[in-house]
Amino acid sequence: MKASAIAHSNIALIKYWGRSRNHDPNLNIPSNDSVSMTKYGLTDDIHLQTHTTIEFSDNYQEDTANLDGAVLVGRNMDRILRVIDPLRKYADVDAKFKMMSKNDFPTQAGLASSSSGFAALAIATVNALGIHFTKEEISKYARLGSGSAARSIHGGFVYWNKGSSHETSFAQQICGPNEFDMNAVIAIVHEGKKEVTSDVGHNLAHTSPFDAVRIQRSEEQAKEIKKAILSDAFAKVGETAEENCKYMHAVMMTSTPPLYYWSPETLRLIRSTQKIRKEGLECYFTIDAGPNVHYFCRPEDTLELQKMLEKIEGVSKTIPVKPARDSQVVKKHLF
C-alpha cells in the first residue's frame, strides 16, 4: 500500500479568493469559479513540482508526514489529514501512514507550493489505498487540503467549477498543454515566506465592500476566458487575467484588516508591463498572494521577455514556465 505521485503547481488566470460562507469552511468551496494554467518550470533544476510518497502499513504506530526534511505538525498536519482521513474511511483502511514530500522550489514563496503539494498527496493516497477514482473525483479530495490544488490534478488549462457541495466542487481540464500556445515568466522579487497565508485571506475577503463585485465579475470572466482559451484569443485571455488580478488585489487591500501583498518592486514591474508592451512584446501580468509577478506571453517571446524582466531593478531571478501535463503516479518512491 505504497504509491508516489508528481504534481505541478498552477497559476490562476481567474482567481479563487474567499470561500462560500454557506458551507463548512473546511470544505474549501469557493465563492466563484476559477481558471488556471498548470506550470512546468523550464529551468534545469526548477520544474515547480512536488514529488510525494505515501505508505499505509500496520507496522506504523502513528501517522507521520515530512516535507523537505521537516516533520509536519499542527496546522500543516491537520491539512494533510483533511485529505487522507476521508479517503482512508472511503477505502475502509485503519492503517497508519508515512508520507514524505519534496518540492523542487522554495515552499511558500508565493509560487503556490500548496497546489502541487496537495494534488500530489491526493493522487498518491488514492493509489496507495487502491481506490479507483476519476481525475475529477481526485480533484475534490485535493481541494480539501488547499483550494487551488483541486486545479493541479489536471495539466494544461483548467476550470474549477465552484459547485455547491463537496460532491459538486471540482476542476476539469479546458484543454491540454499543447492546445493553447501560452507560456509564462515568473519575476521573483522576494523569496521569503508569505506574511499572511491565503487561508487567512480567504476568511477576510467578505469584509471588503468590493467582494460582491469581484465575485460577480469573476464568474463572468471565468466563462469568457474559457471561451478565449478555446479560440486561441491570446490578447483576450491576457487582458481578462490582468483585470481579474487587479480585482482580487483591490479586495485584499480593502479588507479589514487590509492585506498588502505588493512590494515596491511589484509596482515597478506592473508599470514596466506597459513599457514592454509598447516596445512590441505582448505580455500580461498576474500576481497571487505575494509580491512576485507572473507574466503570460506567447511561447516564442519567452526568452526575450525573460531578458527584459531580468533588467528591471529588484528582480532577483526569473523562472520561465510552459503548461504542464497532468499530474500523475510515478514509480520512483522517496523511501
Q: Give, as ranges, the residues between 139 and 168 that touch ligand DP6 (CB under 6 A).
A: 146-148
Nearer to ligand DP6 (CB atom), residue 12 or residue 100: 12
Nearer to ligand DP6 (CB atom), residue 125 or residue 152: 152
Cα separation, 132 vs 130, in Å, equals 6
Instruction: For the CB of residue 196, give the shortest distance to ligand DP6 in the complex, in Å.
Output: 10
Residue 182: helix, strand or coil by DSSP?
coil
Which region holds residue 155: left if phi is over 0, alpha if psi is between -120 and 50, else beta? beta
Nearer to ligand DP6 (CB atom), residue 179 or residue 199: 199
184 touches ligand DP6 by CB under 6 A = no
Full 3-state SS string of 242-266: HHHHHHHHHHHHCCCCCCCCCCHHH
Sign of the four-CA dihedral 244, 14, 196, 25: positive
289 touches ligand DP6 by CB under 6 A = yes
Q: Please name the residues in contact with 119: beta carbons below 8 A apart, sequence gap of 6 or more.
A: 5, 7, 8, 50, 142, 149, 150, 152, 153, 327
Rg, Å, the chain Cα set: 19
239 touches ligand DP6 by CB under 6 A = no
DSSP 8-state code for residue 322: E
Nearer to ligand DP6 (CB atom), residue 12 or residue 65: 12
Nearer to ligand DP6 (CB atom), residue 107 or residue 333: 107
Residue 247: helix, strand or coil by DSSP?
helix
Cα separation, 180 vs 333, in Å, equals 33
Nearer to ligand DP6 (CB atom), residue 41 or residue 117: 117
Among 101, 139, 198, 286, binds ligand DP6 (CB under 6 A): 198
Cα separation, 158 vs 222, in Å, equals 10
Nearer to ligand DP6 (CB atom), residue 180 or residue 247: 247
Return the H-helix or E-strand segment holding 317.
strand 317-323
* Cell output for 154: 489536471
**x-or-dash pattern for ligand DP6, window 90-129, by CB under 6 A?**
----------------------x-x---------------
Helical segments of 146-233, H only: 149-152, 198-204, 211-230
Instruction: For the CB of residue 12, give the shortest distance to ligand DP6 in the complex, in Å.
Output: 3
Instruction: For the CB of residue 103, give the shortest distance to ligand DP6 in the complex, in Å.
Output: 13
Q: Which stretch binds ligand DP6 (CB under 6 A): 85-93, 127-135, 198-206, 227-235?
A: 198-206
Instruction: For the CB of residue 16, give the shortest distance to ligand DP6 in the complex, in Å.
Output: 4
Among 5, 12, 99, 186, binds ligand DP6 (CB under 6 A): 12
Residues forming the site for ligand DP6 (CB under 6 A) = 12, 15-17, 34, 112, 114, 146-148, 197-199, 202, 288-289
